[in-house]
Amino acid sequence: MLLLQLLVNGILLGGMYLLLAQGLNLVFGVMGVVNLAHGAIVTLAGLFTFWFATTLHENPLIVLPVVLVLVLIVGAFVQRLLLEPLAGAGRKAELLSLMVTFGLSYVLVEGALNLFGSQYVSLPDLQTTWRIGGLAVNEALVASGLLGAALSGALQLWLNRTASGKALLATSQNQIGALSCGIDVRRMRAVAFAIGAALAAAAGVLLILVIPLAAPTADTLTILAFVIVALGGLGDYQGAALAALLLGVVQSFVGYYLGGDAEYVVPYLLLIVFMILRPQGLGKSGRPVWSERR
Partner 1 sequence: MPNRMSLIRPLYPIALILAASGLASAPASAAGPIVIGASVSETGPLAVDAGYHLRGLELGVAEANAHGGWLGRQLELKYYDDKSEPGTAVRLYTRLLTDDKVDLLIGPYSSGITQAVAPLANKYQRLMIDPGASLPDIFSEGNHWNIQGVATSTGYLEGMLPLAKEHGAHNVAILSLQSAYSLACGKARQAQADQLGMHVVYTTTYALPQPDFSAMALAVKNANPDVVIACSYYPDSVGLTQALQRIGFAPKFLSETIGPAEAQFTSALGPLSDRVISNTTWWSSLKTPGNAEFIAAYKAKYHEDPDYHSAATYSAIEALGAAVKATNSLDQAKLRDWLFKNTVPTVQGTFKAGAQRGRDGVQAIYVPDPGERP
* Residue 111 near partner 1 by CB under 8 A: no
One of 72, 82, 256, 279 touching partner 1 (CB under 8 A): 256
Residue 131: which H helix or E strand, with range?
Answer: strand 129-132
User: Taking CB under 8 A as the rule, which mask of x and - marks residues 46-65 in contact with partner 1?
Assistant: --------x-----------
Question: Using an 8 Å Cβ cutoff, are 76 and 190 in contact?
Answer: yes
Contacts by 47-50, CB closer than 8 A, 24 or more apart: 47/112, 47/115, 47/116, 47/121, 47/204, 47/208, 47/213, 47/214, 47/215, 48/204, 49/123, 49/204, 49/205, 49/208, 50/116, 50/121, 50/122, 50/123, 50/208, 50/213
Chain length of the chain = 294
List the one residue out of 156, 41, 60 whose CA is nearest residue 108.
41
**Contact region with partner 1 (CB under 8 A), list: 120-128, 150-158, 162-170, 229-237:** 120-128
Q: How far is CA 252 from CA 46, 195, 267, in A?
A: 24, 30, 12
* Residue 16 near partner 1 by CB under 8 A: yes
* Residue 7 near partner 1 by CB under 8 A: no
d(CA 97, CA 116): 27
Residues in contact with partner 1, total (CB under 8 A)?
42
Q: Cβ 90 to partner 1, closest distance in Å? A: 37
Q: Cβ 219 to partner 1, closest distance in Å? A: 10
Question: Using an 8 Å Cβ cutoff, are 244 and 10 in contact?
Answer: no
Nearer to partner 1, 202 or 214 (CB): 214
One of 86, 141, 200, 203 touching partner 1 (CB under 8 A): 141
Q: Cβ 209 to partner 1, closest distance in Å? A: 10
d(CA 135, CA 9): 10
Q: Cβ 108 to partner 1, closest distance in Å? A: 15
Helix locations, 32-117, DSSP H: 38-56, 63-78, 93-116
* Residue 9 near partner 1 by CB under 8 A: yes
Q: Cβ 24 to partner 1, closest distance in Å? A: 16
Nearer to partner 1, 225 or 282 (CB): 225
User: Taking CB under 8 A as the rule, which mask of x and - marks residues 207-246 in contact with partner 1?
Assistant: ----xx-xxxx--x---x----------------------
Give the footprint of partner 1 on this chain (CB under 8 A).
Answer: 2, 5-6, 9, 13, 16, 54, 113, 117-124, 127, 129, 131, 136, 138, 141, 211-212, 214-217, 220, 224, 251-257, 259-261, 263-264
